[in-house]
Amino acid sequence: MRTLVTLAALALPLSAQAAETGDLVRFVSCPVYRDADSGKKSGCWLATDPGSGQRWDVSQSPYKPNWDFAVLVEGRVSAASADPCGAPVLEPVRTSILPDPCTRHMLPAEGYKGRKFVLPPRNIQPLSVARDTPPGPYAERVFTTYFEFDRDFLVYQYDDYIIDKAVTWVRAAKPKKLVVTGFAATEPETVTGQMLAERPEVARERAESIALTLRRLLPELPVETKWELAAKPTDDPDADTIPGQSQRRAEIRAIF
């Protein structure tokens, strides 16, 4: 069924119903790769919304699709030019890999150059680079990490960057303990005709994943874990205004 959706989507026109800059777009689709080449990592990831027939450029997600599986696309319509990849851009955007199988599809460059690789804004420095000591005074504080849909592993660079900031601050602030709370978006939602809800277990898995990382980096500090279901969206800036992303989180709370 997923393969048929993808093949039909590929046949749809590239421009369909227009969306306004800043609108939230959310759908499930099989991703397609465009073989553009402007150097390192310049190929394009595209996904078509089956509801509108609109193809979107989702290349700016901090975690990339896998063309063997469907993705949950969540993003906001950008004012950026569609020229690099041949489709309107979603940025910020997330592409969570789902278990539904897809048939691989690659488009030729067709004159689109993609984007030259640049380091993401959330880019962790090598451990050999000294961290600046965060200024005081120090008081209770929360750092939030984020996850793909129904998964608990740390997202390369995105979560690494947040955890590095948290650990640098904790080393300077010296709290008595850390409490990590994992959250899961367990309330079902229908997206592209598919019922989506995270497993209740993933809330605990997220808390334990972050706690394990913190215990390795801060072995002298007690770390407790908690978890909550039916997570509600937050306005934390590192979720980039994407409500679904803000629900899939773990909070690191420093207690004094």
Asked which of 3-7, 67-71, 118-122, 131-135 is least confident by mean pLDDT, the reply is: 3-7
pLDDT at residue 57, rounded to an integer: 97
Question: Which of 51, 47, 37 is CA-nearest to residue 6?
Answer: 47
Q: Which residue has the higher pLDDT, 8 or 139?
A: 139
* Architecture of the domain whose range is 2-107: Beta Barrel (2.40)
Q: What is the pLDDT of residues 99-155, one digit of tens each?
A: 999 999 999 999 999 988 888 889 888 888 999 999 999 999 999 999 999 999 999
β partners of residue 69: 101
Rounded Cα–Cα distance for residues 198 and 154 (Å): 17
Domain boundaries, given as residue ranges, for the chain: 2-107, 141-255
Q: What superfamily does domain 141-255 belong to in CATH?
A: OmpA-like domain (3.30.1330.60)
pLDDT tens digits for range 13-22: 333 346 899 9
Residues 6+ apart with CB under 8 A from 151: 96, 97, 202
Count of helices and strands (H, E) across the chain: 4, 13
